[in-house]
């Protein structure tokens, strides 16, 4: 019952029982609504609060996906694995969940005694959500640690790069760091392409990645690696390198540089002495450069294969006289200039061409820029912008300028394949794709003459040591013995030796450069010039790899006779 009094004197108002009950019900409903609103409000606020919480999925600043991301396997041209991913457990801790740090430290050190006690204690103390304890462990250790049953200690499966070929293709592959990022070689190049993007998107997981096929043939790579190791020992050399390319597609079949490193130990990849001498080393090429000078002169028409050159006397430039090493000192025909590797003869050849046109040809054949190639380890060649008279003369036989072996092999490929410059590549490429990239540098007829000269040099000249080893495979090549500059002077006992070759010359397929740095004579009967070391190494490599590459030996004389230009027959 409700009694209301207003200002006009005492009045008694009486509500009916029904009205009173109605009011009460209204009040109750209001209270109920309030309670419900409050209740749902609390739930709503909690939901928003939960929604705001950011779960920390990063691992020491990096997204978890990147750590567990995989890289595509790398295969050689025949499908043999050169790099694969293996899954390895990595031990981590969540310090904020560790109850007894001392116990955890003590127990962990029973399985991992290499860990320093202080370091571990410091690592496990604190309020972080994630710290690495040790990465890339074996499954056996994982089992043992799990048996310890320490709270706040757990494993995460990481992808680790593994290179089954060990050191053999180290400079091709490069290496990856512990976070699975490429730090050198093709691995680094791949990161620059699209793998990094995939990993960022978190897509590069599982085994869904298509394998990357390289142009390298592991069998050839193995033989070259083995022969170069043998060469270093045999000739007490300080370094050796070699590269073989398919002359029509520009595919690199093998690329070795010694000393090398083990890609499974990434730290060793960045040691200074193990740099890639094929791509990142520039050297004075010595006489193998004469092939290029010859090609330039023959192609321009300034000299003909039937021409003769006076090599009786050295060439004088002011105070300097350039003379031949073991010179013939007579009039030489053009093939003889090449065969006897006459410096005097080649200077006359270059002078007939003219130094400007010679310099322009070097530009045409790509010696003024880095070779367009996938590996990140590249260096600019060093060739004077313009040649002085004496500069052009020394350049004609490969002194006073520095290029990488990859430059030379690219040039050799173009000179023997009919005159088409093709950029080398480490990825598979077929002839049709390559033909779209061809750039003509010399005429096909000049290319035929160069093939003849190279074969002639193998049969009768400085390449005969090589030819003895690779009999039947129609190899042709040119030696180059470049004296090193020691204390500002050319030294005759410290040399860098090259052998540039192509085979089989009746139907050329491959070009190769072998370099041996500072070789000594193998025995008292042998010498230190390139024919003795770089030449024989080339011969031994070809002798073993030619059958693998599908080249059968053929001893028919007619093949060599067919190479001789008709004007000389």
Using CB under 8 A, list all residues that contact another protein. Answer: 80-81, 84-88, 139, 157, 162, 164-166, 168, 207, 218-219, 221-223, 225-226, 471-473, 543-544, 547, 552-553, 555
> Which of 67/371 has CB closer to another protein?
67
For residues 517 and 480, is the Cβ–Cβ distance under 8 A?
no
Between CA 118 and CA 133 the distance in angstroms is 13
Helix axes 405-416, 290-300, angle to 10 degrees: 40
> Which of 27/80 has CB closer to another protein?
80
| Shortest CB 146 distance to another protein, Å | 12
Q: Give bridge partners of residue 245 from the DSSP assignment.
A: 252, 511
Strands 212-213 and 74-75: parallel
| Shortest CB 255 distance to another protein, Å | 15
Between CA 263 and CA 166 the distance in angstroms is 7
> Which of 81/307 has CB closer to another protein?
81
The string over 219-252, giving b where at least 16 C-beta atoms fall within 10 Å of a residue's C-beta and e elsewhere, is bbbbbbbebbbebbebbebebbbbbbbbbbbbbb
| Shortest CB 262 distance to another protein, Å | 12
| Shortest CB 88 distance to another protein, Å | 8
Strands 74-75 and 81-93: antiparallel
Q: Give the three-class secondary structure for 357.
A: helix
What sign has the CA pseudo-torsion 177, 162, 157, 88? negative
| Shortest CB 467 distance to another protein, Å | 12
For residues 253 and 306, is the Cβ–Cβ distance under 8 A?
no
> Which of 37/208 has CB closer to another protein?
208
For residues 152 and 95, is the Cβ–Cβ distance under 8 A?
yes
Number of H helices, E strands in the chain: 20, 20
> Which of 29/80 has CB closer to another protein?
80
**Whether the bond into 259 is cis, omega within 30 of 0:** yes
| Shortest CB 40 distance to another protein, Å | 20
Q: Which residues contact 93 (CB under 8 A, 6 or more apart)?
A: 104, 123, 124, 130, 131, 133, 152, 153, 154
> Which of 167/417 has CB closer to another protein?
167
> Which of 219/509 has CB closer to another protein?
219
From residue 112, alpha-carbon distances to 11, 90, 92, 117, 148 in Å are: 94, 13, 13, 10, 12
Between CA 25 and CA 450 the distance in angstroms is 112
| Shortest CB 164 distance to another protein, Å | 4
> Which of 80/568 has CB closer to another protein?
80
| Shortest CB 206 distance to another protein, Å | 8
For residues 176 and 42, is the Cβ–Cβ distance under 8 A?
no
> Which of 186/408 has CB closer to another protein?
186
> Which of 107/205 has CB closer to another protein?
205
> Which of 225/429 has CB closer to another protein?
225
| Shortest CB 229 distance to another protein, Å | 11
Largest Cα–Cα distance of the chain, in whole Å?
151
Nearest partner of 116 among 128, 142, 134, judged by Cα: 134
> Which of 81/323 has CB closer to another protein?
81
| Shortest CB 84 distance to another protein, Å | 5
For residues 373 and 406, is the Cβ–Cβ distance under 8 A?
yes
| Shortest CB 223 distance to another protein, Å | 8
Rg for the chain (alpha carbons), in Å? 37
> Which of 80/271 has CB closer to another protein?
80
| Shortest CB 551 distance to another protein, Å | 10
Identify the residue whose tokens are 């396997």.
73
> Which of 219/339 has CB closer to another protein?
219
| Shortest CB 153 distance to another protein, Å | 17
Q: What are phi and psi of 334, to 5 degrees?
A: -60, -45
| Shortest CB 544 distance to another protein, Å | 7
**Whether the bond into 504 is cis, omega within 30 of 0:** yes
For residues 535 and 465, is the Cβ–Cβ distance under 8 A?
yes
SS3 track for 46-83: HHHHHHHCCCCCEECCEEHHHHHCCCCCEECCCCCEEE
């Amino acid at each position: 019952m409700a009694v209301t009094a207003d200002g006009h004197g005492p009045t008694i108002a009486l509500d009916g029982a029904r009205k009173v009950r109605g009011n009460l019900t209204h009040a109750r409903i209001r209270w109920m609504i309030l309670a419900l609103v409050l209740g749902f409000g609390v739930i709503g606020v909690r939901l928003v609060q939960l929604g705001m919480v950011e779960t920390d999925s990063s691992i020491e600043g990096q997204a978890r996906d990147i750590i567990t991301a995989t890289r595509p396997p790398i295969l050689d041209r025949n499908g043999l694995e050169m790099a694969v991913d293996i899954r390895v457990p990595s031990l981590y801790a969540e310090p904020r969940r560790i109850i007894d740090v001392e116990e955890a430290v003590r127990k962990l050190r029973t399985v991992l005694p290499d860990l320093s006690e202080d370091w571990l204690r410091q690592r496990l103390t604190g309020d972080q959500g994630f710290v690495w304890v040790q990465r890339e462990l074996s499954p056996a250790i994982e089992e043992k640690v799990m048996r310890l049953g320490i709270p706040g200690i757990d494993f995460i499966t990481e992808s680790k790069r593994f290179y089954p070929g060990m050191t053999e293709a180290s400079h091709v592959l490069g290496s990856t760091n512990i976070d699975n990022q490429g730090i050198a070689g093709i691995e680094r190049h791949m990161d620059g392409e699209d793998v990094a993007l995939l990993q960022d998107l978190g897509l590069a997981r599982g085994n869904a990645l298509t394998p990357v096929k390289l142009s390298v043939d592991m069998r050839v790579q193995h033989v070259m690696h083995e022969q170069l190791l043998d060469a270093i020992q045999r000739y007490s050399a300080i370094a050796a390198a070699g590269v073989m390319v398919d002359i029509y597609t520009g595919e690199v079949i093998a690329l070795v540089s010694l000393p090398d490193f083990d890609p499974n130990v990434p730290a060793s990849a960045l040691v200074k002495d193990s740099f890639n001498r094929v791509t990142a080393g520039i050297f004075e090429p010595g006489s193998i450069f004469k092939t290029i000078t010859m090609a330039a002169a023959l192609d321009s028409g300034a000299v003909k294969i039937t021409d003769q050159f006076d090599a009786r006397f050295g060439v004088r430039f002011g105070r300097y006289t350039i003379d031949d090493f073991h010179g013939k000192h007579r009039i030489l025909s053009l093939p003889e200039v090449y065969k006897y590797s006459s410096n005097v003869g080649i200077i006359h050849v270059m002078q007939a061409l003219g130094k400007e046109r010679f310099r322009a040809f070097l530009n045409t054949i790509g010696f003024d820029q880095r070779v367009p190639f996938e590996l990140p380890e590249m260096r600019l060649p060093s060739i004077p912008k313009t040649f002085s008279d004496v500069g052009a003369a020394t350049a004609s036989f490969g002194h006073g300028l520095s290029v990488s072996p990859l430059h030379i092999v690219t040039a050799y490929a173009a000179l023997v394949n009919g005159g088409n410059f093709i950029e080398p590549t480490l990825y598979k490429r077929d002839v049709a794709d390559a033909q779209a990239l061809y750039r003509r540098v010399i005429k096909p007829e000049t290319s035929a003459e160069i093939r003849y000269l190279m074969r002639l040099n193998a049969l009768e000249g400085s390449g005969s040591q090589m030819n003895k080893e690779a009999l039947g495979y129609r190899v042709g090549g040119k030696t180059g013995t470049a004296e090193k500059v020691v204390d500002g002077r050319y030294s005759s006992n410290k040399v860098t030796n090259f052998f540039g070759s192509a085979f089989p010359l009746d139907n050329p397929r491959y070009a190769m450069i072998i370099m041996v740095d500072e070789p000594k004579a193998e025995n008292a009967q042998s010498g230190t010039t390139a024919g003795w070391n770089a030449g024989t190494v080339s011969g031994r490599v070809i002798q073993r790899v030619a059958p693998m590459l599908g080249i059968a030996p053929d001893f028919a004389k007619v093949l060599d006779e067919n190479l001789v230009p008709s004007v000389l027959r």
